[in-house]
Structure 1
């Protein structure tokens, strides 16, 4: 099980992690929380019905990683499609940000519950719901890191060149994290589909 998820009898997943892996995953999830931001929280005592129909931003984020996490619904230069994207964003981004925060928080909380033994290794056990939250967070982390590494949708050969970076390249740790998260994501998908 070391390094990849396996199915558990209750429909969840489990993976063996050491203290370093736990620390890296937790740090990345916290950074994702900081990137996504605290969101628009309703003030205490405010009207819950008004909060339910609160409008979000209408313009796409300027940060490329956030733009990747919260893309336009309709990617075209046509004025009508831009307006439709703006409307769609206004009514969906608040909920999408909240879900991304919940997924990242689920990762942090589950990692905080792992007990390690004297050699620094432990087993992370996830329920089916937690597994789906992990899958969302792993996807968001890969999208964010991939954007920072300038890996695009059409860069099929780009990922292969990431394997060949020299150890002296300052992007190397980020590349290793990107590839490791991809392997975790792949085994979690396989586990949930089995």
Structure 2
């Protein structure tokens, strides 16, 4: 089970993680949460229903990773489609951010709930079906973010990025990207096999 998800009854999944893996996953999740942003809480005394109808931003984020997480609805740069993309973003981005925050919070909470039995021991993370889906969304967002920072493209599959020397400062990020990809693939296979 180490490093591979296995199916649990009821559609959940379990994976054995060591202390270092838990620490890395938690750190990456917290960083992703900071990148996505804290969310808008209604000001005390204001109508919380009004927050549901608040409009989001109409401009794409300038950060390439955020732009990848919250892409334009239309790639065409014509004035008409640029306007349609702005409208789409205005009415959907707040909900998308909320969903991504909820996925990352589910990861952080489940990692924080783990109790290692001894130093260096592996712990078994057990996820419900809903938690598994949240993890899948968060793993995907983590990979998109890291891949954007590394400037990974479709042409990079099996390319030089994967054969970096240990002295390259990007090497830890590449290893995290590959590890998260293996975790994500394992979780997808597990959820599909339990369906």
Q: Same fold (TM over 0.5)?
A: yes
Q: For 1:52-91, what aligned pairs fall within 5 Å after superposition?
A: 52-91=52-91
Q: Distance in 1 between matches of 2:48 and 2:158?
A: 46
Q: Does 1:142 align with 2:146?
A: no
TM-score (norm 1): 0.96
Deviation at 1:158, TM superposition (A): 4.4
Q: Deviations over 1:83-125 (max 9, x none)?
A: 0000000000001001111100100000011121224210000
Partner of 1:179: 178
Q: Distance in 1 between matches of 2:158 and 2:122?
A: 30
Q: Does 1:120 align with 2:113?
A: no
Number of equivalent positions: 192
Q: Does 1:161 align with 2:146?
A: no
Deviation at 1:159, TM superposition (A): 4.6
Seen in structure 2, the aligned counterparts of structure 1 residues 74 and 134 have a Cα distance that, compared at 3 Å, is same
Contact kept in structure 2, 1:115 and 1:123, CA below 8 Å: no
Q: Distance in 2 between matches of 1:166 and 1:28?
A: 23
Q: Distance in 2 between matches of 1:10 and 1:4?
A: 18
Q: Distance in 2 between matches of 1:161 and 1:123?
A: 35
Q: For 1:17-56, what aligned pairs fall within 5 Å after superposition?
A: 17-56=17-56
Gaps of 5+ in 2: none
Q: Distance in 1 between matches of 2:40 and 2:158?
A: 36
Tell me how large the CA RMSD over aligned residues is: 1.1
Contact kept in structure 2, 1:36 and 1:97, CA below 8 Å: yes
Deviation at 1:39, TM superposition (A): 2.1
Deviation at 1:162, TM superposition (A): 2.2
Partner of 1:193: 192
Q: For 1:95-134, what aligned pairs fall within 5 Å after superposition?
A: 95-118=95-118, 119-134=120-135
**Which deviates the most, 107-116 or 54-63?**
107-116
